[in-house]
Chain A
Amino acid sequence: MTTAPAAAVRPRPATTGSVYRLTDRIGLGLAWLLGLLFCAIAAAIVIYFLIEGIRYLRPSLLVTNPAAATSEGQTGGFLDPMLGTLIIGFMAMAIALPVGVAMAVWLSEFGRPIALARVTESVVEMLAGEPSVVLALFGLVLFGAPALGFLSQTTHGVVLGQSFFATAGMLSIVGLPMVVANVREGLQAIPAHVREASYALGKTKIATTRRVLLPAARPSVATGAMLGLGRVISDTAIVLLLMGGTLTFQSANSVPVLGLLRGTGDTLTGYIYYNAPTGDGNQPSKAYAAAFVLMLMVLAVNVAVDYVVSRSRKAIRWS
């Protein structure tokens, strides 16, 4: 934070009497106006969801499952969608994190042949801007293939293609670019002489990576993982198409964990979409409560990122 002292030392325009032309005044005024407007909008969004969330959130909603009923009092809560969000977030990151770290290490430390490195870079960059609905559409066909039938349910020889596995598989692609970009940035921020010192001690390149570079880049790994997780739990299109849209968990068979993961379910985003006035459920109060819980989760992820970043600032000083 070098800006703070500099800003304090710099003489204020009013005291130095710099010439402010009309266009400058307009620009400055606009910056203040839009800045304050942004504050107002942000506050409005946060306060609105806070009020509506607290108004509609009941502890019972957190521990009961959605149920089919005609009156709003009997349609239950969103225990399963909430667990679904947690499970999906964990599964997707369990795929995206190791793969992303490996890709980042390869890009930053090896990167040969150059052609493959260039292609990888552009594919990962493109993936970051990829509409998730395209991934969802692709996943629907991919996991509907008979060869991948063991990841979802098969009825009368037709593979459903909708399951926790399918959703997590596609969502891991959503989280991947965040992990790769952050870990790579972290690795590249480590000065070359650190690597050279490790080589001088007789460590191999891969041992250096594992013992020196990755531990040093741990904050970047954590940041990447958290940002990826944030993207994963807030995605809706993939969940909507690949989770099957059954509000409760429907296990594929009676095998404890695998049956569940091969079965269908829902996450909070899917639940909110279902209960919005445009969805089939149309119970705004439930949607508000679920949105509040989801916002809390996103907030927790954000706070975790801030914590990691602020701790890494005072961690290691090379040189």
Chain B
Amino acid sequence: MDEDDLLGRDRGISQDQRAELGLGALVFVVVGLLLAMFAFVLHEAWASFAHNGLGWFGPGGSVDQQIQAIANSGQLKEAAIYTFHAWPLIWSTILTTAGAMVIAFVASLFIAVFIVEFAPQGLRRILEPVVRLLASVPSVIYGLAGVLVIVPFIGNHLITQSEKASVTPIIQLSGASLLAAVLILTVMIAPIMIAVFVDGLRAVPRGWLEGSLALGINQWRTFWKVGVRTARPALVAGTVLATARALGEAIMLSMVSGGVPFAPNPIDGLIFFFEPSQPLAATIIRNTEALNSPAMKATLYAIAAVLLFSTAMLSFIGWAAKQPMRRYGMVT
């Protein structure tokens, strides 16, 4: 290869052009394949959306029975049945994702501020690797801890017998619940947020903080009003990243959320938190055996398309939210 470099002086233009073309072609092919994948998912999903219209997103009937009918329609070689009303699944996804996001955001913000500004030096040195370790713990391990520790605890200690009896005709309260799902999801996504927040808060110019301190503003107020404000783009970026993870989490949620397509109802009072549900991503995991039924394939791809669209929107919202903050000069 050394010869190439030496000869590069004479053949420089063509060599560089060749490299640029080669790399460009590779990028073009990879990006093209990925875009084709997105298009394929939407294309496969179309049949399900077309048959149900906007009713796809609405409530109606039992999701369990609908999925059963969809799966059977493939085996019986009858006309495919597409009827599907996904509201309980969507509602469950919204509840778990939003719940975990809100709790994790508030907690992560304070924890990140603590780590960057207030933690003693020794504690800080331990905490940072721990945050990164927790951010990379596989979700199946969180699911395992959830199903072996949190779920039995909720089932045995938090839910009373009378509460269980009161809903017996409709659902079973085993402990696999909205509460367990939100709790574990929070613990799962908080480290991701903290890691990004800490990076952002640390990048705040020291002089800005010192200027505030020199005016006699106390340390907390300085950091809260100057540091956290300056790091807002990082807060948006971390939140978007973590929320996308929560939205697409299938394994852990299929383990702890109960696996019953039931829409938890806030009117039920305290029991609301103990009601089982099943988010969109977990539904895909649970129904892949019936993928050879054309209707099931379309339905699962429709769910995947909804997830895909939501995460795309999420990253778009993140991008849009960062635009007004560009003048701070800290958007990367």
Contact = CB atoms under 8 A, between A and B. Distances in A.
Interface of A: 2-4, 6-7, 10, 12-13, 18-21, 24, 27-28, 30-32, 34-35, 38-39, 41-42, 45-46, 48-49, 99, 102-103, 105-107, 110, 112, 116, 119-120, 122-123, 125-134, 136-138, 140-142, 173, 202-207, 209-211, 227, 230-231, 233-237, 240-241, 269, 272-273, 276-278, 284, 287-288, 291, 294-295, 298-299, 301-302, 305-306
B311 A129 contact: yes
B213 A10 contact: yes
Task: State which size class the interface on B falls in.
Answer: 35 or more
A298 B217 contact: no
Contacts of B119: 35
A131 B250 contact: yes
Given A18-B217, A32-B118, 17 more contacts: A34-B114, A39-B123, A41-B187, A46-B130, A116-B28, A126-B312, A134-B248, A136-B284, A138-B304, A140-B291, A141-B40, A203-B8, A204-B15, A231-B136, A269-B251, A291-B144, A306-B132
A298 B138 contact: yes
A204 B23 contact: no
Contacts of B224: 24, 27
A236 B249 CA distance: 10
Contacts of B24: 106, 110, 112, 116
A31 B110 contact: yes
B115 A123 contact: no
A128 B241 contact: yes
Given A230-B136, A298-B136, A120 B31 contact: yes
B137 A241 contact: no
Contacts of A105: 23
B251 A273 contact: yes
Contact of A31 (B26, B118, B134): B118
Q: What 4 pairs between A and B have smallest CB-CB spacing?
A: A131-B248, A129-B244, A234-B138, A35-B114
Contacts of B139: 234, 236
A20 B114 contact: no
B310 to A, nearest CB: 9
A110 B41 contact: no
Contacts, number: 262
B230 to A, nearest CB: 15
B244 to A, nearest CB: 3
B304 A133 contact: yes
B40 A138 contact: yes
Interface in B159-210: 187, 190, 194, 202, 206, 210
B26 A103 contact: yes
Contacts of B19: 205-206, 209
A103 B32 CA distance: 13
Contacts of B137: 45, 234, 295, 298
A203 B41 contact: no
B70 interface: no
A106 B148 CA distance: 47
Contact of A2 (B35, B132, B140, B206): B206
Interface string B221-253: 100100000000000000011001101111100
A204 B12 contact: yes
A207 B5 contact: yes
Contacts of A2: 206
14 contacts: A19-B218, A24-B220, A35-B114, A110-B23, A127-B34, A129-B241, A129-B311, A131-B244, A133-B250, A134-B41, A204-B16, A205-B19, A276-B255, A288-B144
A173 B285 contact: no
Given A237-B285, A295-B137, A302-B129, A207 B8 contact: yes
A48 B41 CA distance: 40
A129 B255 contact: no
A234 B107 CA distance: 25
A24 B141 contact: no
Interface string B2-41: 0011001100100110011001101110110011010011
Nearest to A6: B206
A119 B31 contact: yes
B13 to A, nearest CB: 8
